[in-house]
Each structure stands twice: as structure tokens, then as C-alpha cells.
Structure 1
Amino acid sequence: MTGEAVPASLPLFRQRVREEWIDYNGHLSEAYYVLVFGFATDALMDHAGLDAAYRERTGCSLYTVEAHVRYLREVGPRADLAVRTTVLGVDGKKVRLLHEMLLPQEESADGTVPVVATEELMALHVDGGTGRTSPFPERAAGRLAALHRDAPEWAGRGITPVPAVLH
């Protein structure tokens, strides 16, 4: 499966697969896809100005409240991964993100890069002191909005239903 060429304007998080992340089937264990996506969310927060210094100063952070992961292709040991992050929507207190995990070392001659997994998530900006949502700082909201792209056709879908098994 191939994806689109990676636009330079979107933040990329890069991570090499560690040996201890490989499961009994010889490929990246499902939990570590989510770990890498979490690191990509952290990188986006840094990019938007919601970094460690901001969190320390304000007590505010992003809290993920919903996530949907699609595992599209196996990833082997020591693979170099890149995660492209797109903002699908942002308002006063919430942001909808899309992470696409790529294998840049397999870029084709036409510039396409295989997409091996995706994660779509909804996160809230929360004041940890009160436990309540809080508006994004204006600068962070602007930086997030600048990363907005239209959602791909598959975004927003849930898990395909499977008929119940009757005994």
C-alpha cells in the first residue's frame, strides 16, 4: 500500500523501531504503534507551544479522549519510521488529529511513501489543576489551525461491524 508524498509543511516525528518492540510474530507489536503515535502527539504539542515549559507553567495539557488506530502493514525490526501529523479540526478547547506512520526508506521513484498505520484522535486542552477543559492559548490555537488539512475519505470511520455468532 502506498500513501501520498509527505508535504514538507507538516510536522514529522521520526523514530527507529527498537528490538524490544518486536513481538512473537516478528514485527512491531500493536502497543508500540500507539507509543510512537503518542510521541508524535508530544512533538505536535512542542510545535504548537504546548511544550514541557508550558505545561509546567500553566498546569494545562492535551488529554486524548478518543482514538482509532488502523494497522495497514507490518513493520519489521530496526525500521525507520516517520509520522506525519495533520490537524483535521481545532476549536476553543479541542483538537482532532490524524497521524500517518510512514516508511520513508521505501519511498518510490514517484515520491510516494508507504503508510503502515494511522491514528485519528480527539484531544481536549485540560487544566490539570481544575480537571476541566480550558481554552487553547491564542498562539497555540493559531499554530494548530495552520496545520489544518481536509480529512481523507477514510477518516472518521469506525470499526467494520462483524455479524454476531449464533450458537
Structure 2
Amino acid sequence: MTASTQDNSASILAPLALHRETVQPAWIDYNGHMNLAYYMVAFDHATDAFFDFVGLGEAYLKANNASTFTLEGHITYDREMTAGAPMRFETQLLAHDTKRLHYIHFMYHAEEGYLASTNELISLHVDMTARRSAPMPDDVIGRLGLVAAAHDKLPHPEQAGRVISIAR
């Protein structure tokens, strides 16, 4: 397996399985596990795969001079990942409107099956000429509607909507 590969086995009827990747040795910190910054790198690759799937990827940017910007994100670190560990990502669309997408990625150890991390994000559709928010085209909204119809039947992830705090 290469360092980053697209997984084309996606089904809209389940969380989308669009991306697989391997933890690179350069991503390991002095604690002997994947450094927190590289979780975001891997999740960004999963976002690219998700956006390609719904029609908002790099080809869309080039054809429409429009893209998405991340407005907010939250990561949970549930279990360690070490050098060479295979990662498998699942993505669930939580909500969308004409300009925004709310979604969550789940990072699993691809061989051992455990949940290693989650990344919840809100992204905004942007007209790259005006550098302002703009509605997504109807075909993208339609594709998101199909994904949302399937994903609305899934349980709401317990990790979604968390607020960072120390419980008292």
C-alpha cells in the first residue's frame, strides 16, 4: 500500500469509506507515537477524498473557481498510532445547507480495528474570485442530499458536538 490511497469501496448507505493511509516514520514524535499535527494531515487527506466524492474536490475548484474553507474543527485522540500503522477512515455527513457542510471523520487502525481518533469539521463553500461565501451548485447540493438521506439514518456519533472541558 502506498502512503496514501483512495479507497473506492464507498457506499452511501454507511459511513463513507473513502481513504486509507499509512503512518509515516517522519510523523512519529519523541513519545514514540504519531504527533498530533500529523493526525490533522491524515484527516485533511480524508477530507480531500470526501470532497472528491461529493463533487467539491480539486477538479471542481479548477472548473468553477470555487472551493471550501474550514471554519471550525475538533479532534479527539482515542488511541495511539505508531509508525507503519495502516489507517482506515470513515466519513459521516452530519448536516449541510447551501453554503456549509458539517461532517466527522473516524480514523481506525485498519488491521486491529480500533478507533484511534475523530475529526469533526464545518466547511464553507467559497467563491475564490470574491473570496466570499457562496451557494454550492445544484448538482453538488443534490449529491449531498443523497448522502444526507442515507447518513441521517445512522446513529449520531457520540464524539460530535463535544465541548472541551475538564469534568467536575
The answer to whether residue 139 in structure 2 is matched with residue 160 in structure 1 is no
Compute the TM-score of the two structures, normalised by the length of structure 2: 0.84
Number of paired residues? 151
1:92-107 paired onto structure 2 within 5 Å? 92-106=98-112
Whether the aligned pair in 1 keeps the contact of 2:46 and 2:89 (CA below 8 Å) is yes
1:8 Cα shift? 4.4
1:160 Cα shift? 1.6
Q: Which structure carries more relative contact order (alpha carbon 8 Å, separation 6+)?
A: 1
Match of 1:56 in 2: 62
Partner deviation per Cα, 1:89-112 (whole Å, 9 max, x = no partner): 011000001000011201xxxxxx
Whether the aligned pair in 2 keeps the contact of 1:99 and 1:120 (CA below 8 Å) is yes
- Label 1:11 to 1:145 Cα distance change in 2 as closer, same or farther (>3 A): farther
Cα distance in 1 for partners of 2:70, 2:89 equals 17
- Unaligned ranges ≥5, structure 1: 1-6, 107-112
Cα distance in 2 for partners of 1:130, 1:8 equals 35
| Pick aligned residue for 1:26 from 23, 26, 32 | 32
Match of 2:89 in 1: 83
Partner deviation per Cα, 1:52-82 (whole Å, 9 max, x = no partner): 2210122111100100000000001100001
Cα distance in 2 for partners of 1:73, 1:8 equals 26
- Unaligned ranges ≥5, structure 2: 1-9
Match of 2:147 in 1: 147
1:141 Cα shift? 1.7
1:119-138 paired onto structure 2 within 5 Å? 119-138=119-138
Root mean square deviation of aligned Cα: 1.6
Cα distance in 2 for partners of 1:80, 1:28 equals 12
- SS for the counterpart of 2:111 is helix
Cα distance in 1 for partners of 2:107, 2:63 equals 32
Which range moves more in the overlay, 142-151 or 54-63? 142-151
Partner deviation per Cα, 1:15-72 (whole Å, 9 max, x = no partner): 0111101111111110010001001111111111112221012211110010000000
The answer to whether residue 71 in structure 2 is matched with residue 71 in structure 1 is no
Whether the aligned pair in 2 keeps the contact of 1:83 and 1:102 (CA below 8 Å) is yes
Q: Percent identity?
A: 39
